[in-house]
Structure 1
């Protein structure tokens, strides 16, 4: 099984028909491969929770309900935040200051997983980015 990590925006675009057209052809094709396990970082859910609270992100249902529906519906597993992920953040250069992206980058490096993201700054960290 191939393990693929979804960046926050990739998860949001995948789960919302209005934004699905923003996904690249390669990203869309990944979701059709049966030998692939998809993961979402707990950091992404944390990021979404903050954005919901400050009014930058809205769902037709509560965040709790949205996540509870979308994860099983799309076959996505959660990757928890581990101590080694947080420690890795300290070793990352400061190419990017977004704390959620930095944690997601650290997780991808520690777990040696490819990440589906439009964010090219991930490339500066040596992350295996698909888009």
Structure 2
């Protein structure tokens, strides 16, 4: 199983937040799960931290993701083109890019965002 984590899922996982739904937690810890975090997610976290909307040690994010066993997913031109072609059901550019990446890479998107579920992408959350 190949999973792509939405930003809120990454933050909840890293902080041990009980808001992380059990289906998401169970999927992430499965032995056969390959868990990915998009560069879009780390970018979004850095932006929110810089704006004062998030207290998170962004200087440690790369090490934290590595310690968790999560794989980085780079942003490719194909991902951005697919994101631009998505129907305008959701206006968050970060979520649109994650949806496009999950579709293009054949991944399940781990998210509780109801807007994400409006797209043709498998989800857990």
Identify the TM-score tier after normalising by the shorter chain: over 0.9
CA distance in 1, matches of 2:28, 2:86: 30
**How many residues are aligned here?**
125
- The residue that corresponds to 1:39 in the other structure is 36
- How much has 1:25 moved relative to structure 2? 1.5
Give TM-score scaled by structure 2 length: 0.94
CA distance in 2, matches of 1:32, 1:105: 22
Matched, 1:104 2:103: no
CA distance in 2, matches of 1:101, 1:31: 19
Structure 1 runs (4+) deviating above 3 angstroms are: none
CA distance in 1, matches of 2:98, 2:79: 8
CA distance in 2, matches of 1:82, 1:64: 24
Pairwise CA RMSD:
1.1
Unaligned runs of 5+ in 2: none
Unaligned runs of 5+ in 1: none
Q: Deviations over 1:108-131 (max 9, x none)?
A: 111110011001211211110101
Give TM-score scaled by structure 1 length: 0.90
